[in-house]
Structure 1
């Protein structure tokens, strides 16, 4: 190849790279690190492809990343948000979760918009090709998106929230689609379906009054009184990337602008364990049980009776137990239990000696377990954890341990059920194979659709016409009413015709009976 052609190819490649490089902003003010993992994975992946990424979050990178810019919100929210005592949230009541999410969402929006770093950013009025938001507990920052006149997409770090379906016009059938906050799967009894319908529709109303109205008030305060309702802005969401997968979280109908990317944050385990962790796990002749309640709940806030129930149950296992425990000491700690304040969870779960994962049922951690082929004991505490654990129980890869009935016997029974019944491990390996069998990795899938949304100016052709319909039109109630009226008119006409014919026949018959007979001569 001549030097001139080689030079031309290099130039064209450079031009192509520049024209395909987008400026992408991620607005991610939520304080839960488990939620942030999904956004971080996508933004890092986009930065690695040459896009200029700006991340507004509570979790700035510790070391600089090429093409990745942080705008830190650290200090904008009080510390209590990420230090939740167990008994505060583990009520099992939906209203506890809803009130907590609404409170955090409101405070989060208010504190974010009044934080100096955010004020400076908003005032700069920087332009982007795409904005990424989270579809969770507040739409307040959609006011900024609207003001920028920029295409935007959303992330859902859980299965779809109950109020997410309407903004995309996606089918939402409570007969087989279990509610996000209930212990319901895709196969429900009649009472469960009744409850599911009531909660499914009720939560949409709750969102309107408890989440949406306060968010609208805040958004108008920061972005002007002329701002349209946030629910109307939300209908322009180009794409939703959902952290779920049909193999693990049960199949449901999804429109083309709703894409499952469950496991987007997953990376193959590197097995770079510290010396003490490696020795502890490698030396476990009967395997290891991992116990972690995630990043938001502090395990050392267990009430003493429940903590002791685990301690006593673990002491009777032949397996070793690795317990994520934030405290410096664990009262009554058995010899087979090791406590750590932080776990390299993917590396640990990927170790062949790990037999069981005891979890609160958060989607990030349980997806990691499924990716690694590890069965689970689920202790759902709040939010989507009940629905997640029910899904895993139906898949045969987990059992449920009710938080309110925790005792030595219930803990031991749950642990032994999974450890001694080989079907759980067999099912976990089956799910692992299905979860990882995809044409593209979750991250590559998310990157493709993100770039697709930019290339096509927000990809309006992906949106369903259902979002333009009134609720009675979507449910065909107007059509049903007209058809019912038509049938009623036809039946009424038929009734009057039959009645008239019957009346005429009866009259003729009566006339024949009353007509005098002719006398014989």
Structure 2
């Protein structure tokens, strides 16, 4: 009898599953849908596995999902298609071309609109009541897109959110991303995100790559971080730490790269390559929504 009682207790314990759902906040403040398409499957998968996910983005779900709460950012900026002005390549400046600086200047100008967009979105984020309400809640982890803005990191500090922060990158690492987790980005062999090649071979390549590396870091620092900090401080009438300091407190970064495509780079445990993590779910959704075309008999 004693043996059967013990077996019954053991069987009951083995059948019991300890499930702890996390409360997750994701702030994805970029208007380009290509970025969101990389992150969306991760958010949906977390919700499917029982976690409570609150997503602040420009692309709310068309139909409600269980465990998935949307905070729409559509009222603060216009959702737009990402495009490149090909005239920059078709009609190069003759003077710049004669000096051999056409490629350098093309890469410099490609990022200029992103600073104005970042400041516009940040000005809207600091005045968005639904986001403020969400930031007052407790979370187990916060996911923040790392692209052309650190405004979300400043808001997390203002609202005293203590949860660890994980950075999300929809493509290769940006020049201002490496220092956040102590990753080396030696320009003698690590190309910038706008580089024409994945390998640096000649001295001129190294010279151009070094100049771009330095430029992008200074641009992000003074055209975005400094101004976003000023926007937050004016809105809340408080002093906050330098956004670069807050960015270095990121616990981990998930990057949409893979070494077979993007080249071998020095990595740290705090950086995880998740290249293609969105492909599986996208393929399944395509199969469910695609019309079934009947096969014609060969006979």
Corresponding residue of 1:131: 142
Residues 260-316 of structure 1: CA deviation (Å, up to 9, x unaligned): 10111011745737559x69xx99xxxxxxxxxxxxxxxxxxxxxxxxxxxxxxxxx
1:29 pairs with 2:29: yes
Corresponding residue of 1:237: 250
Match runs of 1:434-513 below 5 Å: none
Corresponding residue of 2:214: 201
Report the Cα distance in structure 2 between the residues aligned to 1:121 and 1:36, rounded to whole angstroms.
20
CA contact (8 A) 1:163 1:203 kept: yes
Question: Per-residue deviation at 1:110?
Answer: 1.2
Of Structure 1 and Structure 2, the greater helix share is in 1
Runs of 4+ in 1 over 6 A off after TM superposition: 88-92
1:267 pairs with 2:269: no
CA contact (8 A) 2:166 2:250 kept: yes
Report the Cα distance in structure 1 between the residues aligned to 2:45 and 2:85, rounded to whole angstroms.
35
Question: Per-residue deviation at 1:135?
Answer: 0.9
Match runs of 1:158-169 below 5 Å: 158-169=171-182
Question: Per-residue deviation at 1:26?
Answer: 0.2
Corresponding residue of 1:82: 81
Residues 262 and 83 (structure 1), Cα distance of their counterparts in 2 relative to 1, 3 Å cut? closer
Report the Cα distance in structure 2 between the residues aligned to 1:223 and 1:244, rounded to whole angstroms.
37
Corresponding residue of 1:70: 70
Corresponding residue of 2:162: 149
CA contact (8 A) 2:126 2:155 kept: no
Structure 1: runs of 5 or more not aligned: 284-521
- Paired residue for 1:121, among 134, 142, 148? 134
Structure 2: runs of 5 or more not aligned: 93-102
Match runs of 1:75-474 below 5 Å: 75-79=75-79, 81-82=80-81, 84=83, 86-87=85-86, 93-122=106-135, 125-146=136-157, 147-267=160-280, 269-270=283-284, 272=287, 274=290
SS of 2:131's partner is helix
Question: Per-residue deviation at 1:33?
Answer: 1.0
Question: Per-residue deviation at 1:83?
Answer: 6.5
CA contact (8 A) 2:31 2:78 kept: no
Corresponding residue of 1:43: 43
Report the Cα distance in structure 2 between the residues aligned to 1:56 and 1:89, rounded to whole angstroms.
34
CA contact (8 A) 1:144 1:223 kept: no
Report the Cα distance in structure 2 between the residues aligned to 1:28 and 1:88, rounded to whole angstroms.
30
Bigger radius of gyration = 1
SS of 2:166's partner is strand
CA contact (8 A) 1:23 1:130 kept: yes
Residues 85 and 243 (structure 1), Cα distance of their counterparts in 2 relative to 1, 3 Å cut? closer
Residues 458-508 of structure 1: CA deviation (Å, up to 9, x unaligned): xxxxxxxxxxxxxxxxxxxxxxxxxxxxxxxxxxxxxxxxxxxxxxxxxxx
Question: Per-residue deviation at 1:202?
Answer: 2.2
Question: Per-residue deviation at 1:162?
Answer: 0.5
CA contact (8 A) 1:184 1:192 kept: no
Report the Cα distance in structure 2 between the residues aligned to 1:185 and 1:115, rounded to whole angstroms.
40
Report the Cα distance in structure 2 between the residues aligned to 1:198 and 1:260, rounded to whole angstroms.
27
Residues 196-241 of structure 1: CA deviation (Å, up to 9, x unaligned): 1111122212221112111111222345422111111111100000
Question: Per-residue deviation at 1:150?
Answer: 2.0
**Alignment coverage as a number of residue pairs:** 272
SS of 2:279's partner is coil
Residues 345-380 of structure 1: CA deviation (Å, up to 9, x unaligned): xxxxxxxxxxxxxxxxxxxxxxxxxxxxxxxxxxxx
CA contact (8 A) 2:56 2:72 kept: yes
Residues 225 and 24 (structure 1), Cα distance of their counterparts in 2 relative to 1, 3 Å cut? same
Corresponding residue of 1:454: none
Question: Per-residue deviation at 1:187?
Answer: 3.4
Report the Cα distance in structure 1 between the residues aligned to 2:177 and 2:69, rounded to whole angstroms.
29
Residues 205 and 70 (structure 1), Cα distance of their counterparts in 2 relative to 1, 3 Å cut? same
Q: TM-score scaled by structure 2?
A: 0.82
Report the Cα distance in structure 2 between the residues aligned to 1:257 and 1:62, rounded to whole angstroms.
34
Residues 172 and 129 (structure 1), Cα distance of their counterparts in 2 relative to 1, 3 Å cut? same
Report the Cα distance in structure 1 between the residues aligned to 2:219 and 2:231, rounded to whole angstroms.
18
